[in-house]
C-alpha cells in the first residue's frame, strides 16, 4: 500500500491569525476537523473516479483513509491505495486473451502490454517457459500510487490532480467555516 498525506499551510495560516480568539486546543480541533473533512471528500471522490481511471473495481484498489488523531500538533489525513492489482481484476474489455495464448492488457492509465505465451490458472495468468526463461505468474498492474495525485506533467492522473487542487482550494474555506461555527457555539 502507498500512502498519500494531506496537509495544508493555508489552514495553518488562518488558524494562527485567529489564535487570539480561540485557545490552542480549540485551534487544534478546528484544524484537525477541517483536514479530516477535506481528506474524506478526496477519499469519497477517489472511490468514485479511480475505478474508471484504472479499469478495475474500487475493492481491487483498496482505497482507505485514516483520519488525523486528536491531540496531534500537525493534523494529517492519510490516504492509502494499493500499489498494484492483479491482471485478473482488470476489466475484461481491457484484457484480451487469444486462442493461441497471447495476452494483451491495456489499462487506461498506462500503455498497452503484450505477452506472447500465457496460460490461465484460476484468476491468475501464468507466463509459460520460453527459452531460458522459466514459467512464472504474471505480476499485477501498477497503479503508480505515489504519483497518482501529481500534476499530469509530472506523471499523475488529471482527474485525481483535480481532486487534490479542489481540496487545496477548499481547505481554507473549511477552516473559516469551522472557526465561525466554533465562535457561534461560544456565544450561546
Q: How confident is the model at residue 109 (pLDDT cuts 50, 70, 90)?
A: confident
For residue 34, give Cα distances in angstroms to 28, 69, 123, 188: 10, 13, 42, 22
| Pairwise CA distance, residues 28 & 149, whole Å | 26
pLDDT at 1: 44
Confidence of residue 37 (pLDDT cuts 50, 70, 90): very high
Instruction: State the average pLDDT for the chain.
Output: 85
> Which regions of 67-187 does DSSP assign to beta strands (E)?
77-81, 84-85, 95-97, 103-105, 113-115, 118-121, 124-127, 136-137, 141-142
Q: Half-sphere exposure of residue 170, counting CA atoms within 13 Å on the CB side?
A: 16
Does residue 74 sit in helix, strand or coil? coil
161 contacts 154 by C-beta, under 8 angstroms = no
Give the global pTM: 0.75
Percent of the chain with pLDDT strictly greater than 70? 86
| Residue 21, pLDDT score | 58
Please write the tens of the pLDDT for every residue from 112-169: 889 888 888 888 888 888 889 899 998 889 898 888 888 989 988 899 999 989 988 8
76-98 average pLDDT score: 90
Amino acid at each position: 500500500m502507498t500512502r498519500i498525506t494531506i496537509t495544508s499551510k493555508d489552514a495553518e495560516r488562518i488558524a494562527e491569525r485567529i489564535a487570539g480568539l480561540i485557545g490552542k486546543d480549540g485551534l487544534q480541533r478546528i484544524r484537525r476537523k477541517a483536514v479530516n473533512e477535506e481528506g474524506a471528500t478526496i477519499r469519497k471522490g477517489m472511490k468514485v473516479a479511480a475505478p474508471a481511471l484504472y479499469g478495475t473495481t474500487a475493492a481491487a484498489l483498496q482505497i482507505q483513509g485514516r483520519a488525523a488523531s486528536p491531540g496531534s500538533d500537525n493534523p494529517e489525513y492519510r490516504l492509502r491505495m494499493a500499489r498494484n492489482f492483479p491482471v485478473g481484476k482488470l476489466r475484461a474489455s481491457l484484457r484480451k486473451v487469444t486462442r493461441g495464448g497471447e495476452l494483451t492488457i491495456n489499462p487506461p492509465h498506462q500503455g498497452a502490454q503484450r505477452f506472447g505465451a500465457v496460460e490461465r490458472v484460476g484468476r491468475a495468468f501464468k507466463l509459460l517457459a520460453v527459452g531460458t526463461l522459466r514459467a512464472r505468474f504474471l505480476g499485477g498492474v501498477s497503479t503508480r500510487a505515489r504519483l497518482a495525485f501529481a500534476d499530469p506533467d509530472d506523471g499523475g492522473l488529471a482527474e485525481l490532480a483535480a481532486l487534490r487542487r479542489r481540496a487545496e482550494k477548499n481547505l481554507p474555506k473549511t477552516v473559516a467555516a469551522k472557526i465561525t461555527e466554533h465562535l457561534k457555539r461560544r456565544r450561546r
